[in-house]
Every structure is written in structure tokens, then in C-alpha cells.
Amino acid sequence: MTGYIKINSLTNTQMKIISLIIFIAFFTLRSNILSANQEFPARNGEKPVILESITPDTPFVARNFAWASGTSNPYLSAVQFLQSFPEIVGVEDPHTDLEFESATRFDNHTVLKFNQTYKQIEVFGRGVIVKVDESGTVYYIASNAVQILDFPSEEPLIDSFEASLIALQSVPGIPVYSTSAKRFIFAEKDHSYPIWVFSIGTKNPLGSWLVLVNGISGEVINIAKRTFNATGRVFEQNPNNGGLIEPELLRLSGDGTRLNGQYATTYRYISEGNIQTAIPDSDGNFLYNPSSTQPDFEDPFVEVQSYYHVDRIVDYFVTTHGYTQTRGPLTVLTNYYQGSTSSPTPYDNAAYDGENWTLTIGQGSTADFGYDATIIYHEVGHSVIDSIAQLLIFGGDKYGMILMPGAIHEGVSDYFAASLLDDPNMNEYIYIGRNLQNDHKCPEDMIGEPHQDGLVVGGTLWDIRELLGKEISDRIVYRALFGLPQDTSFKILSNSVMDEIDQLITEGTLTEAEKTQVETIFQERGMDICDRFIDLKGAESYSTLLFGLSMMGESACDYISYAQALGLSMPTAFQWYIDVPEDATTLKIDFSLTLFSPGEEQHWLYLRKEEPVEFELVSIIPGLVLPLRVQKADKTFEMSNGFTLTPYTDPPVEPGKRYYVAISSLSCPMGRYTISGSTGNEPVEEPVVETEEEEPEVVVEEEADAVSVEELDAISENNEEEMGPPEKGDSGCGCKIAE
């Protein structure tokens, strides 16, 4: 039939090419359809705000637009929108490629979440978030859905048992549990395949891990740590902040003789199993005194302390924000230690285990972590964020290091703990804590440690709280979590907060002037531009951290030559990009570096046109997979202070193109680098290539071919026969010689 293609007659290569064309077309249309289509007026009289996807497999976010569905039913409105505009969503057929997950109803809008699927199998970590107001108008979408290009087989070649053995060997410590394998599709812009996903819990060290195993090759794709810790430096002496109170323990279950409640169940940890040692007195009260010695591995007071504070903060989220603890009461393990019951080792830490729905409160060397309410509130905050946003906490992917989802987890948990106590100082009872009254900015103060990076988030949110007050700020931050895709960034969080502020302006609760003040806070903190890819034209220059091998421990510095032989290096936290105008003739990148301590300086700048630089993930130690080997770049500049591209360099500058710059290091010490980018349109003369003057050609007569002695004798005899014997004075060659 003329004009049509029969799909099943195409080769695999042809099918991939057609899919790629469709994929690129969808990616291109995403960013302009909302601004160009007359069906999308601005919701609040301004233009829609669009965060364009840097690549087809990074999130696309749009807000403050208005699309009326004709129905007030939020689910039907969302479905109609998704089916009407698949090019915005990023999938070919939303009806078959998206599966409804949840709807969260607030007083005047509903947040709906959809998971991406492929042939009824969920695509790992990808989906769509839609917000619909009470009239049925769609005004917000966040999507990291991606086109499936290469039609993977649904059935893995590696079975679940073999994959589980691979997963168990990839994590540190002693496994104490492993969930059954879950099958997903793993999809990126240029490839997809089936995977097995495992959740594994360990002790010595304590941890919970999400392990992704390639269902075709059996390779470990990535590992995400599912424990969120509150670590720090322990005081030698423990300050006593505040006295003892005797509040009522609410929501106890059963006969109230054990600390089992609606929101929490507390235990004392022992290595052989968990027991409940806190029991009521004859009046039914749990009136224990704090332990007078530390460490105390048999302290019942901390069981009561932990129950009260977990119950208090969960009830705050439930009654104030409408939070639903769908997974039941949190299991709280107190007096946690490493080693055995007969020989316990203090555990200076506290952790939330997202897979096992558990809070673990360490019995520290000089203090019990359960005695600090901010630590308990912080860890419960992780459970709330995990229930709402399911942020993915991987160490890195093909575009480099991943810092911001973990930093958001820590910063928002800090914020709610501090807000509930009305105190910006975190964990000051246990150790030198984190203070949310700070001036941390992105990218300047990002160091690769989630608690410290979270100070940018926590400090920003505390600034907003001081501006708008606790009640409004808490509401904004809580609801903004529902707008975050799993692979989020500070920039996306900022936009989700601004979307909630727009909602409050619509209600008449906030003013445009207050909105402008919040925007200024985000700008001053760098939150509005802080993404994995940062535009170099957004500022005169940027300064941030250069990671060194010492980040992985000083002993890692002993293996520099080994890493160099393998082509490994440590990428920085961000990639940078710059758009070259159509009339540009030059592109200039300036780079400077200062190491924090003496050491050999080794760094590289990578350049790639139109697409970000890509790295290969390398497993270096159990439980840690990092992007340590550059895989796709157009040009590498070693030990460079920058470079300039012109029409005559290699590579030449191409007007109208976007260029990405990534940086990696193999230095032992860490350092700070400054980078800037600019373009120019001044005429550039083609460089004159100097050539050496040509030497005059010297003609050399060709030598006769060599002859043998026998041939010479034969020639001589012939000459004598023809010419006769030489005359006197004749040399025998026909020449006269002087007598």
C-alpha cells in the first residue's frame, strides 16, 4: 500500500532509526508546545514557566499554565491531558504506557502520579506527576518518562536466583534480609533492557541497599543506599538542654503495657533479636530516668523517649498536612550497637531504613542518639519524604555524580525537625550540629556529602519560614514534595515551591510582593539555577569543589597510578553548558584551580557538542558505583586552564550549537575551581601557516646498475676485439692522457 510502512517488515536497525526520529521529535516539542499552543494560557496572568529537559532522559517540568478539561474530576482531567499531549508527556501512547499510582487531595487541588510501563512492566524510576485544581484545570506537569527505543525482550536472560547472588556480592557487610526480585525495564534515551531490583539489608556495617542487576548481562547497573544517617563529631561531654517532662503517651495499642502504638513500636535492640524492656509501673506509667552512664546498652528510658517523639512528629504530619502512614507503625530500634551482645561496640549514628520501614537509634560512645529529639524528628522526616517522593539516591550515573536528591532528603528532614522545635540548630546535644541559619549557596558550597549539601536546602527553606511564618512555610514545603520527580534537583524543588506559592496567591493568602521576595531568596542561594547542568551564561563565573581521591579515604591516594592505568578519574558535581549564538565566531572557556593541600595536580576538561559528556559507571568497592571513566566526549584538554574555539581550531566552533563541559580529577587532595564561559562575534582571521622555503632541486645522475666481475671481463674482451689493443698513452677508455 503506497504511503504506508509495514512495521513487521522492517529490520531492527530501521525500527531503531524510526523510533529515534520519533523520540527526538517528542523531545523537541516538549519545550515549545506549552508556550506556543493557544490552548495553554498562563494561569496567573504571567507566561507559563517551563524547565526544559537538558536531555531526553532528564526531567521536564512546566507550571503556571492552564488547560481546561471540561470536567471537574481530577483523575479524568489528568488522563485527558496526558492522552491529548503525549509529546509533552514523553511517551508514544499514554493509555498503554502509563499506569495510575496515586492521587493526593488537598483543599483546592489534587496531585496525581502515574508510573511509566512497557508491555505492562514498570519502567524503573520513571513516571509523570500532574496537578489539577478544583475546577478540573491542569496547571502543572513533571515528567521523566522516556521513549523505549530498542524494544527489549520482556524476559531476562539471567534468572532471579542468579541475579540475587550477584546482588548479594555487591554490597558490604553481612546480609540480614533480601527481598524477592522485582522485574523492571531500565530505560535511557539510547537503550533499554530488563533488570532485576533487590532490596538488601546488612549489618556490620548497618545498611539498606537497592541493587539493580542487568537482566541480560548480569552486571550490577547501580546501587542506591537506602539508609539515611545522622552522623557527626561527638562531644566529649554531653550538654543537657532542657529538663525532663512527663507528657502523656498517646495512641498506645492494646492494653498499653508495651510501647506499641498507631504510629510507632519501640524495641531495645539485641543482636539475637529485638525485645521490649520498657514496661509500665503499677500505675500504668513509663516513668524511667535517663541513664547516668554512657554507653548504656540496656537503657529503657530511650525506648520511652523514642516512642513519644516519633508519635509526636508523625501525628503532626497527619493532623496538620493530611499525611497518611500507609505502611503502618514505624519500627524503632533503640540502644543499637555493632558486634555481639557479649561484646557490643557503640554505634555513633542513627538511620532510617526505607525498605524495612525502621528507625535505628544508635547507642553512641559518649551519648545515646535517642536522647536528642532533633535526630528522631530528622529520621522520621526521611520516612515522610520517602513515602511521598521516593527520591532515588544513587552515587552517580552516566552524566556524572548525583548529589541533589540526597541533599534534598537531608535538607527537608532538617527543616521539619527544626521547624517543629522552632530551633534552627540541629543535633547540638549529640555533636556539633548543623545550623539552618546559614549562608550556604549552590554550587559554591556543594561538597558531595548529603548532610552538608542539605544545608543549602535547609537554609533556604528556613529563610522562607522567617519571611512567611511557620504555618504557611510548612504547608508550602510539604506540598512541594508531591511535585518532585524521583531524579530531582534544587532547581526543580524551587519551582515546585513557587507553584505552591502561586496556589496561595490564587487563594488570596499570599501577595505578589511576597512571591517576589521568595524568588529573591532562591536566587541568592543559587537554588533557581542549581541543576545537574548549569548554564555558564547565568553568571560571570562559578566556583565549586573539585573532588579528589581523598574523598574515598586517604588510602585511596595510594592507588593513583593504578587508577590512571585504568583510565579512571573523579568527575565533579556538575556539567556546564553554553549556547553559541548564530553570529558567534568564538567560544571561550576559562578554568582555574586551587588544591586545598599539597599534591600532584591532575585534571581534565571534556568538551562535547549538543549532548552532555557521558561517563562509564565503575564498581570500586562493595556498595559503591561511581562514574569514573569518561565514555563520550568530542575533545579532552589535559591540565588545561581553558580553551578557545574559533572556526579554525580543532574542533571548530559551530554557531547555533550548545556545548557541554565536564571536569574530572585524579588528584589526591580536593580543591576549588572557578569556571566561566563566553562567546564573541569579532572577525577571526584564518591563521597563516608558515612554510619553509623549498630548496632548489638537485638533479643527481642515476648510478649504473651494479655488474659482476665476470660481466666486466666479458665487456673488456669484447672491446679489445672491436677496438684493438690500446695505443701508447691510451688509458683504454678512448681518452687521451698527458704524456
As a whole number of angstroms, the distance between CA 715 and CA 712 comes to 5
Ramachandran quadrant class, 151 (left: phi over 0; alpha: psi -120 to 50; beta: rest): left
Task: Note the CATH number of domain 264-530.
Answer: 1.10.390
Show the CA angle centred on residue 224, arms to residues 375 and 379, nearest 5°.
Answer: 10
> Within a 10 A sphere around the Cβ of 682, how many other Cβ atoms?
7
What is the DSSP track for 149-202? Answer: -S---SS-SS-HHHHHHHHHHTSSSEEEEEPPPEEEEEE-SS-EEEEEEEEEEE
**Three state DSSP letters for 187-254:** ECCCCEEEEEEEEEEEECCCEEEEEEEECCCCCEEEEEECEEECCCCECCCCCCCCCCCCCCCCCECC
The residues near 702 (Cβ < 8 Å, ≥ 6 apart) are none
CATH architecture for residues 160-225: Roll (3.10)
Contact indicator for 407, 450 with CB cutoff of 8 Å = yes
As a whole number of angstroms, the distance between CA 737 and CA 232 comes to 108
Q: Which three cell numbers stand for residue 59?
A: 526531567
In the predicted model, is pLDDT for residue 84 greater than 80?
yes
As a whole number of angstroms, the distance between CA 664 and CA 638 comes to 10
pLDDT of residue 697: 63
As a whole number of angstroms, the distance between CA 635 and CA 612 comes to 12
Amino acid letter, 628: L
pTM comes to: 0.83
Longest dimension (CA), the chain: 152
In the predicted model, is pLDDT for residue 526 greater than 90?
yes
Kindly tell me the sign of the dihedral angle through the C-alpha atoms of 172, 176, 180, 184: negative
What is the DSSP track for 663-675? Answer: EEE--SS-EEEEE
**Three-class SS state of 96:** helix
pLDDT per residue over 286-312, tens digit each?
A: 998 888 888 999 999 899 999 999 999
Fold assignment, 535-680? Jelly Rolls (2.60.120)
How far CA 730 is from CA of 714, 718, 722, 727, in Å, comes to 20, 17, 15, 5
pLDDT per residue over 318-352, tens digit each?
A: 999 999 998 999 999 999 999 988 899 999 989 99
Among 478, 227, 203, CA closest to 337: 203
Band of the pLDDT at 154, cuts 50, 70, 90?
Answer: low
Q: Mean pLDDT in the chain?
A: 84
Express as a percent the part of the chain with pLDDT over 90: 56
pLDDT per residue over 691-726, tens digit each?
A: 666 666 655 555 445 444 455 455 444 444 444 444
As a whole number of angstroms, the distance between CA 190 and CA 20 comes to 8
Q: Which three cell numbers stand for residue 1?
A: 500500500
pLDDT of residue 471: 97
pLDDT of residue 28: 44
